[in-house]
Structure formats: structure tokens, C-alpha cells
Amino acid sequence: MEAFLKTLSVLYVEDEDMVREEVSRFLRRRFARVDEAKNGAEGLELFEKNVYDIVITDIKMPVMDGLSMAERIRNLRDGMPIVIVTAFTDTDYFIKAIELGVDGYVKKPIDTEQLIAQTLKATYSRFQDVQLAKAKNATIKALTQIVGALSRAIEQRDPYTNGHQHRVSIFAESIGRLMGLSDEQLTSVRLSALIHDIGKLSVPVELLVMPRPLTELEYSLIKTHPVNGSDIITGIEFPWPIDETIRQHHERYDGSGYPDGLQGEEIRIEARIIAVADVVEAMSSHRPYRPSLGLDKALEEITRNRGILYDPAVVDVAVKLIREKGEKIFEEAAFTSRSSGR
């Protein structure tokens, strides 16, 4: 908890010089930063210019009293933690403070231990948020690294498509970002794309590297990979619908895809994006049975099938990105390079 207090910045408002100096000295030893104000108006001015984690304020002060300031602060920032310091005789003010919903109060003369306890109580939910965010980030990082390792393991088996999933994930994430997807959805897109072909593990490797177009029977075996992939992943409780996305990545907008023949928005947005990124990457890369068809052919394919095989909104964004960036759509931007990257 001591360490947590050291991360907080405090606005402390008190008109009595001696009290303010003494309490500030105490606060400075425990908090990251302490700004002092002599009355509510000064406090408000500081609050508007700086970012604080907690406001500690006296009530009775000249120019603007503590509660008027608290009220204004709450209007500026809803839920801002406020602890008031009150003399025993301030009953009326005290009632108003309760109405305002301040987070804590300390009686004068200030008992510093009580002040710390009230400050902790007022900022505790923030403390929990910080801890939670830290834990969540660590989990996402570890999951991303595991999925990245899995992705490389899948691709080592099939050298011709080496790097395919990684490049698809980069392009898919850029499309998602430009479409305005949330951070959660972007993580979902990125990780699903990284292992979207995991189901090919159950397809004989000879088929994957066949230097000629496949027969219908051979192709039907390849077509089991979205379901196989989703079955492999479904036992892992990812916080994102990765198994569903993998199952749906060969579904097509008009319902002509597989395995379930889903249509339009029945297909998850992640899968609609990966479908486009997948075909663009596949067409512009070399395959055992043909050389690269080039980005222009890929552009033609998605434009011709816009609203037919592919979600028109996804195609529009993909086309824009291809025109702007060319081959660079498959490259990790330097500023977003990830530890999972290779």
C-alpha cells in the first residue's frame, strides 16, 4: 500500500498556514506529488491545470469554501476522490459533504494515520483498477507469446506457408484498426489470425506442399481445417472467441463458404476481416503449385467479390490500405512491434 500511495498525486487545500505546512510536509513523504492551495478558488485553478488522484480539503476557507470547490471539482470530473478535513463544529457543512458524496472525512486536529486511512479508502477502487489492469496486461502478453509460439510451430511443418499467419495477422489488425474496432476486438483479430490455420495440423503434410492443384478429394480434406482448428482451441478458455473465429475464417459473405454456410453478419467481424487478409496474403505469396500472383491480382479479387464473398466494409478498408502501403501491409509498423513478433 505504501508503494501505491507513492504513485498518487494530491491536491491539498487548507487556509491555515501552519496546518497546511505541517500536513503538506507529512503528505510529501508519502505521496508522489503534493500541490498546496490556500482556498477553494486556488484549489480549483490548480485542479483545472493538473491531474490529481485525490483532493484533500479543509471546509471553512475564505474566497471559496471547500465544499463549493468539491462540488465544482465533481462537476469537472465525476467520481474524483475527495477527502474533507473538518473541525468538530462544522455540522452543517458536514451534512452537505455527505450529500455531495465525499469519499472520506478527517477531523481536526488532523490525526495523520486517520488521514492516510481515509485517503486509501477513497482511492482503493483506483488501486484495484491499477492492479487489475497490470494483471490483465501480463495475461494478454503471456497469451500473445504462447499463441505466437504456436503459430511458428504450425508453420514449421509447412515451409511454403511459413510466415503466412503472421503476415495475415498484421494486415488483419490494420484493417480492424481502421474500421474502428475496440482494443479487445483488435487483440481478438490478431490472435485468431496468428493461428487461424492451426487445423492444418491434422491434414497430411504432403497435401499442404503438393506442387500441383489438388483433386476434389484432397481439397475436401484441406477443408476440414477450420473445424479441426476450432476443436483444438475450444478447450482453452481464451477471453476472446478465437475458436469461433477460426471455425468461421472460410465462411463467405454470401453464404457460399464453409463449414456452416453462414452469411453476412452471422459471421463474426474477426472472421470477415481475416477472410480478406488471408486471401490477399495467399495470392500475393508464392505457393508450391504457382508463383505469386501479386498484390494487383489480390486487389482485383477482393474488389470483384466485394459484397459477394467478402464484407464490403472490410474490402473498402483493405483496398485503401493496399493502395497506400503496397507490400508494407504485411510489415509490422516499427512503433507497434511486439514481443510476439519475429
Task: Give the Cα separation of 337 and 137 in Å (integer).
Answer: 16
Please state at what angle helix 112-157 crosses helix 183-194, rounded to 10 degrees: 30
Stretch touching Fe ion by CB under 5 A, among 190-198, 209-217, 239-247, 266-274:
190-198
CB of 176 to Fe ion, least distance (A): 18
Longest dimension (CA), the chain: 91
Give 58 or 197: the residue with its C-beta nearer to Fe ion.
Answer: 197
Task: Give the Cα separation of 9 and 28 in Å (integer).
Answer: 10
CB of 266 to Fe ion, least distance (A): 19
Q: Convert 38-105 into a string of H (helix), E (strand) and C (coil).
A: CCHHHHHHHHHHCCCCEEEEECCCCCCCHHHHHHHHHHHCCCCCEEEEECCCCHHHHHHHHHHCCCEE
Sheet holding 104-107, edge to edge: 33-37, 9-13, 54-58, 82-86, 104-107
Give 148 or 199: the residue with its C-beta nearer to Fe ion.
Answer: 199
Give 93 or 258: the residue with its C-beta nearer to Fe ion.
Answer: 258
Phi, psi of 56 (to 5 degrees): -115, 125
Stretch touching Fe ion by CB under 5 A, among 42-50, 165-173, 177-185, 189-197:
189-197
Q: Which of residues 111-130 bind Fe ion (CB under 5 A)?
A: none
Would you state the cell numbers that stand for residue 240, as one nine-digit string?
476472446
Q: Which of residues 162-181 bind Fe ion (CB under 5 A)?
A: none
DSSP state of 334: G
CB of 327 to Fe ion, least distance (A): 21
CB of 197 to Fe ion, least distance (A): 5
Stretch touching Fe ion by CB under 5 A, among 84-92, 115-123, 194-202, 208-216:
194-202
Give 53 or 197: the residue with its C-beta nearer to Fe ion.
Answer: 197
CB 312 within 8 A of CB 254: no
Stretch touching Fe ion by CB under 5 A, among 35-43, 191-199, 262-270, 305-313:
191-199
The CA distances from residue 207 to 87, 193, 195, 200, in Å, are: 83, 22, 19, 10
CB of 228 to Fe ion, least distance (A): 11
Give 197 or 251: the residue with its C-beta nearer to Fe ion.
Answer: 197
Task: Give the Cα separation of 100 and 59 in Å (integer).
Answer: 13
Q: CA torsion angle for 212, 218, 223, 226 (degrees, to 10)?
A: -90
CB of 289 to Fe ion, least distance (A): 16
CB of 144 to Fe ion, least distance (A): 21
> Does the protein bind Fe ion through residue 158 (CB under 5 A)?
no
Residue nearest to Fe ion (CB): 197
Give 42 or 197: the residue with its C-beta nearer to Fe ion.
Answer: 197
CB of 159 to Fe ion, least distance (A): 17
Stretch touching Fe ion by CB under 5 A, among 31-39, 51-59, 154-162, 197-205:
197-205
Q: Which of residues 221-260 bind Fe ion (CB under 5 A)?
A: none
CB of 121 to Fe ion, least distance (A): 53
For Fe ion, how many residues bind (rule: CB under 5 A)? 1
Give 119 or 245: the residue with its C-beta nearer to Fe ion.
Answer: 245
Closest CA to 258 of 270, 269, 250, 246: 250
Closest CA to 28 of 50, 5, 46: 5
The alpha helices in 158-224, defined as continuous H runs, are 164-178, 183-194, 205-208, 216-222
- Which residue among 53, 197, 244, 311 contacts Fe ion (CB under 5 A)? 197
Give 14 or 278: the residue with its C-beta nearer to Fe ion.
Answer: 278
Would you state the cell numbers that stand for residue 108, as one nine-digit string?
481536526
Q: Give contact residues for Fe ion (rule: CB under 5 A).
A: 197
